[in-house]
Amino acid sequence: MITTEEVLKALKFVQYPGMQKNIVDYKFIRDLEVENSGKVSFTVSFKTTQKEIEEPLKKMVLEALREVGGITEINVKMDVSILETPPKQEPKPAPGPIDKDPDLIPEVKHTILVSSAKGGVGKSTVSLNLALALAKEGAKVGLLDSDVYGPSLPIMTGLEGKQPKSDDEKIVPIEKFGLKLMSIGFLVAREDALIWRGPMVMQAVQQLLKDVAWGELDYLVVDLPPGTGDTQLTFSQKVNLAGAVIVTTPQDVALIDTARGIDMFNKTNVPILGLIENMSYFLCPHCGNREEIFSNNGGKTESKRLGIDFLGEIPLNLAIREGGDSGEPIFFAKPDSEIAKTFTNISKQITKKLPFEEKNGLLSKVKSLFN
């Protein structure tokens, strides 16, 4: 006899192109019933701007279940809510920063992109801790999670489920750790999948800039999604950028993508502020032995080859992972740790290139958060 678990296991293989997860993990499956006779009934419920994906997705569901023995009948209902699609607009060509709007975020002095062409290298961890390090120096800092498909800022700051308020004209960013924070993850439920084409992503990114009340900031740190796609192009073309910080890991497969990402910024005239190597080494907490698990000196060597500054090495450390999961980033939870000192050193290198005017009393106020 077929079981519910077997049905869900089969449906986990259904992942429509463009989705980051399967339909079970996205919680698209509703009202699943499995009868002793082998009849399987359920609803596939989700929101999208693309009406045309309904039939292909249903076909993928049926094909996945036909491979499962014991099923005598399949009854699938598609419950698809069609979201309003913005006016169609084509991505602008890549060469040069064109059509920039100086009034998009007029009160932000320096906008810094944190980027990597490869996923899984720790951009979000670096972005959050770098923003905290800049704030501790006395700067007014905002942090924007611009990954529309996989936002991580709500979890990493312990703000999952929180929603920003509105002042009737703009969205007011959530404040924590002395930072102004904004993410698409604050505006949608955790399980909601945003199945958007490029133009809608580009529009959403611009709204996270101009429709948010960022106020006066010395630095807006932007955590980019992986790759060299629509989000990166939007920032390169629409925002007056101070520069980009590149994050990599030591192994060759990451360094190859790093070079591609840097080439993209060179082609769009975005300055490279430097490169950070994350997961550089593992320092045993018991014996103090250092192990280069993912190779060594890859970031330093690549920086030298590409002619950009090497900003620092971040080790592979359990406390970093725990801080990201618990909502207390390591720079805040352990401000006196060696890792926090590394982020402080990185932030000082950036502020030398992009100076700010420290306001009276702000430094002591921010530092009090870490005590």
Q: Is 102 part of a structural domain of the chain?
A: no
Pair 213, 167 in one domain: yes
Pair 163, 62 in one domain: no
- 46, 64, 82 - which closes a domain: 82
Q: Is 101 part of a structural domain of the chain?
A: no
Q: How many domains does the chain have?
A: 2
Q: Is 117 part of a structural domain of the chain?
A: yes
Pair 199, 295 in one domain: yes
Pair 198, 329 in one domain: yes
pLDDT at res. 95: 41
Pair 120, 196 in one domain: yes
pLDDT at res. 92: 41
CB 79, CB 29: distance < 8 Å: no
Q: How far apart are CA 276 and CA 262, in angstroms?
A: 13
Q: Is 91 part of a structural domain of the chain?
A: no
User: In Å, how far are 22, 79, 354 from 45, measured between CA atoms?
Assistant: 13, 5, 48
pLDDT at res. 252: 67
| pLDDT lower than 50: segments of the chain | 86-98
Closest CA to 277 of 242, 305, 307, 309: 309
Q: Look up the CATH number of the domain holding residue 141.
A: 3.40.50.300
Pair 217, 301 in one domain: yes
pLDDT at res. 47: 81
Pair 63, 146 in one domain: no
Pair 176, 296 in one domain: yes
Q: Is 169 part of a structural domain of the chain?
A: yes
- 64, 82, 100 - which closes a domain: 82
Q: Is 304 part of a structural domain of the chain?
A: yes
Q: Is 343 part of a structural domain of the chain?
A: yes
Q: Is 197 part of a structural domain of the chain?
A: yes
The domain of 193 spans 108-368
Pair 175, 281 in one domain: yes
pLDDT at res. 353: 93
Pair 187, 244 in one domain: yes
pLDDT at res. 91: 42
Pair 233, 340 in one domain: yes
pLDDT over 70 percentage in the chain: 84
Pair 357, 314 in one domain: yes
Q: Look up the CATH number of the domain holding residue 24.
A: 3.30.300.130
